[in-house]
Structure 1
Amino acid sequence: MTPSEAAEPDTAVIIATSGSTGEPKGVLLSADALRASATATHKRLGGPGHWLLATPANYIGGLQVIVRSLLAGTTCAALPAGHFTGDLFAEAAAPVLREDGPRYTALVPTQLTRILDSGSAGLAAARAFDAIIIGAAATSAGLRERASGAGVRIVPAYGMSETASGCVYDGVPLDGVEVRIGPDERVLISGAVLTHGYRLRPDLTADALVDGWFRTGDRGRLVDGRLEVLGRLDDVINTGGVKVPAAAVERALAACAGVRDSCVVGLPDAEWGQIVAAAVVADSPVAVDDLRAAVRASAGAAAVPKRFEFVDALPLRGPGKIDRAAVAARVFPTVG
């Protein structure tokens, strides 16, 4: 945007995002949308409180921590930019934890994992927060169990820049937010938290916003009124004519002992069209045969990865989101 190009009407901030497609977009958010999200968050968590900013403020999750603090009339503390450790988290959290009333922060799963791994000061600080929102990427069942066992109160959140940050907390929409599932299993969202479009892209705006509903790129289902996100619509692997959701394979792998994280991608193959491949981060030695058996039992024979690679860490983009394109290019570079 150049100085001569005024922002679209009612725009308070423009959040730069590429989503999962890699196409740069500017998400337009009004002050009303930001305020609606922050107000609903405080109501769900237990009232306005004191916040620690622990993720970059140029992403919607970090920006909302600042907005929530402004609405609460408090001043948020901030974690210094750079490498994240449990000790640095504890140091940054100290002034927040000295305050009376609710104390909150928002983290991505990678940060929470490092806190749980570090123990000592970082874990003690995490336990002292009344709630820690976990967003930007899915919170695995294993990570939930670790946090609960360690006495850390987390609130897994689902949302995106287009919904002014998390709009579904632990499966339940915030007040003023509605969720429904489209005929293609697409998650649809409406409410005052929504974006009013994309910067200078009326074509993208018309495709994403239809009759007051935002068409996400995620598959989901509603079970007893709670949203379960099943993965990205574009993360379905077509192998030998069978469609395999990458998220279903990742859930099966996450349930295996020793598996900390995984990313499943489809790789081009002359015989199968695509093959299922899994990059796995393990805390301890894991037998590939056990992983295959777990996936077969949970997701079916077609979903069993034909290739496994064990890695120390998965490449990330943005605030803690796994970069699937980078996994395919870096972990499996010889496949073509």
Structure 2
Amino acid sequence: MKDFFYKYANRDDLIAIRTSTNNITYKELFNSTEVLSAKLSAIDDLTNRFVPILSSNNSEFIRITLALWNKGFVPVPINTRWTEIEIESVLTRHKFDLVFYENIFFDKIKNIKVKKFSFDELSSLPGKEIKSTSNDEALVIFTSGSTGEPKGVVHSFNSLANSTINGAEILNQNISDRWLASLPFYHIGGFQIICRALASGCEIIIPDNLETESLKKAIQQFNPTHISLVSTQLQRLIECDTKLDKSLKLTLVGGGFSEDELIINSDKIGWRPIRVYGSSETASFITAASAEEIRKNPGTVGKPVNNTKIKLSDEDEILISTSSLFSHYLNNPEETKSKLKNGFYHSGDLGKISGEYLFLEARRNDLIVSGGENVNPYEVEKALMEIQGIKEACVFPIEDNEWGQLVACAIVADKEISDEDIKKELKSKLAAFKIPKKFYFVNQLPKISLGKIERERIRVMFRTEK
């Protein structure tokens, strides 16, 4: 199924990648990929099939991904917002023996005992022939886990390709279309922008960065036909009066909570939003709803796409069977067994079904989705409890129109400690998006008879707080 993404490799009349400084045709991209593939043999330590890549959204990331695919290796995009400690934990736990990195992220890995190759070093290696190996595994995407450790979601070429095939009626792609690379490539939503574009001969427009002003500039300069955003990005682009071209076909809006009002209002001004629901495990979206469908069915995350079946367990957990489903969690057979049962992925999300439409009641158990990033509250609580003076902590989400959800925490302290002191302590332990934005100091936390903190009760206590 790898050939699904190579169909346009010889087309020198189609732009594959467009940036503010240059354009690369499909033929140029794939020819340069072949050259880079030959250089991989000069790396003596390239023995692990899984190769981490620490990079922002750029053309080199795409080249390296294709070069690894050419030789049977599996790219493992690393979250660039993780701290050095978080990156080291993942590299060590999975015994990754080297990492490819963009120069601007060297400080995040310089003290980690692992082989490192910058993009510049890769380009300067001598070219040698390396034997290709057959491998259907195509990608590992890390997502938050129930124990606080990120889980490596392993996808095959089949599952990545099937995601595009299943969503074809929604996406409506052709070779004249242009995808804005508006989500990080280390997220499944961002990586699938690459896959969808390659499969249909579309352009991949790479903005200078993912800040609002750069996205606005790229939208207005290059007129993408397809955009994929989290609700925070969409809200900010609307607020800064981003001008849209009539060629825009759709804007996928996913990555967590989005207000019906945002979808409906953005539709009125030309964004053509499609609310989508999915996860890293499903290779992006498996349901979709237009603004019109949301008007008629408030709160819905849509109908299942093709080759997808959704049902509810007796406890209303959303169970998903789809041809785009992941194969397993990397080095985690226990978690794989608990989530994949009888051909269905047990999502951990709670929902209801009315007619053809799915409604999401609670997202991924206790995970907090803030600005499209998953935050595990237990990981944050563990870091909080390491701070001197904090006796108890409970981390929970607060709904927010801009971010979808904010990370908040209720704290019992046995000495005086300020928000800023806590943030300063957490800065070296957690990525910035995981650090609580709201702090509530209380004398005690509500608990059940067994001493377990009543997380949902605490969430209700502070639901109306701003």
**TM-score of the aligned structures, taking structure 2 as reference length:** 0.49
Aligned partner letter, 1:93: I
Other structure's SS at 1:116 match: helix
What is the 5 A alignment of 1:19-34?
19=145, 22-34=148-160
**In structure 2, C-alpha distance between the alignment counterparts of 1:60 and 1:151, rounded to whole Å:** 26
Change beyond 3 A, Cα 1:57–1:280: closer
Alignment of 1:332 with 2:439, yes or no, is yes
Alignment of 1:41 with 2:167, yes or no, is yes
Q: Is residue 183–residue 210 contact of structure 2 (8 Å, CA) maintained in 1?
A: no
Other structure's SS at 1:76 match: strand
Q: Which of 351, 354, 363 is the aligned partner of 1:223?
A: 354
**In structure 1, C-alpha distance between the alignment counterparts of 2:399 and 2:160, rounded to whole Å:** 37
Change beyond 3 A, Cα 1:217–1:161: same
Give the corresponding residue for 2:112: none
Give the corresponding residue for 2:310: 179
What is the 5 A alignment of 1:104-253?
104-119=226-241, 122=242, 124-125=243-244, 128-170=247-289, 171-232=302-363, 234-235=365-366
**In structure 1, C-alpha distance between the alignment counterparts of 2:205 and 2:277, rounded to whole Å:** 24
Give the corresponding residue for 2:197: 69
How far is the alpha carbon of 1:45 from its aligned partner? 2.8
Aligned partner letter, 1:58: Y
How far is the alpha carbon of 1:97 from its aligned partner? 2.3
Runs (5+) with no aligned partner, structure 1: 237-245, 248-264, 268-273, 284-314, 316-321
Change beyond 3 A, Cα 1:127–1:223: farther
**In structure 2, C-alpha distance between the alignment counterparts of 1:208 and 1:278, rounded to whole Å:** 24
Q: Is residue 51–residue 96 contact of structure 1 (8 Å, CA) maintained in 2?
A: no
Runs (5+) with no aligned partner, structure 2: 1-44, 51-73, 75-134, 290-301, 370-376, 382-392, 403-422, 424-431, 445-466
How far is the alpha carbon of 1:4 from its aligned partner? 4.5
Q: Is residue 56–residue 81 contact of structure 1 (8 Å, CA) maintained in 2?
A: no
Identity %: 26
Other structure's SS at 2:212 match: coil
Aligned length: 258
Change beyond 3 A, Cα 1:90–1:331: closer
Q: Is residue 216–residue 237 contact of structure 2 (8 Å, CA) maintained in 1?
A: no
How far is the alpha carbon of 1:115 from its aligned partner? 1.2
**In structure 2, C-alpha distance between the alignment counterparts of 1:36 and 1:278, rounded to whole Å:** 33
Aligned partner letter, 1:167: I
Aligned partner letter, 1:13: L
Q: Is residue 220–residue 245 contact of structure 2 (8 Å, CA) maintained in 1?
A: no
Other structure's SS at 2:244 match: helix
1:38-93 C-alpha deviation (Å, 9 max, x unpaired): 122232232333211111111100111110100011221112224223xx223212
1:182-228 C-alpha deviation (Å, 9 max, x unpaired): 11110011111000010010111111100110000100111111111
Give the corresponding residue for 2:219: 93
Other structure's SS at 2:167 match: helix
Q: Is residue 90–residue 125 contact of structure 1 (8 Å, CA) maintained in 2?
A: no
Q: Is residue 209–residue 215 contact of structure 2 (8 Å, CA) maintained in 1?
A: no
Change beyond 3 A, Cα 1:20–1:207: closer
**In structure 1, C-alpha distance between the alignment counterparts of 2:361 and 2:246, rounded to whole Å:** 30
- 4-13 or 39-48, larger mean C-alpha shift: 4-13
How far is the alpha carbon of 1:133 from its aligned partner? 0.3
Q: Is residue 139–residue 155 contact of structure 2 (8 Å, CA) maintained in 1?
A: yes
Q: Which of 137, 150, 163 is the aligned partner of 1:11?
A: 137
1:110-139 C-alpha deviation (Å, 9 max, x unpaired): 0100011111xx1x2276511000111122
**In structure 2, C-alpha distance between the alignment counterparts of 1:229 and 1:144, rounded to whole Å:** 16
Q: Is residue 309–residue 320 contact of structure 2 (8 Å, CA) maintained in 1?
A: yes
**In structure 2, C-alpha distance between the alignment counterparts of 1:280 and 1:180, rounded to whole Å:** 27
**In structure 2, C-alpha distance between the alignment counterparts of 1:226 and 1:46, rounded to whole Å:** 21
Change beyond 3 A, Cα 1:58–1:173: same
Give the corresponding residue for 2:207: 79
Q: Is residue 185–residue 219 contact of structure 1 (8 Å, CA) maintained in 2?
A: yes
Q: Is residue 14–residue 27 contact of structure 1 (8 Å, CA) maintained in 2?
A: yes
**TM-score of the aligned structures, taking structure 1 as reference length:** 0.67
Q: Which of 176, 182, 188 is the aligned partner of 1:54?
A: 182
**Rg: which structure is higher?**
2
**In structure 1, C-alpha distance between the alignment counterparts of 2:195 and 2:262, rounded to whole Å:** 28
1:154-191 C-alpha deviation (Å, 9 max, x unpaired): 00110011000111112111111111111111001111
Change beyond 3 A, Cα 1:173–1:282: closer
Q: Is residue 316–residue 350 contact of structure 2 (8 Å, CA) maintained in 1?
A: yes
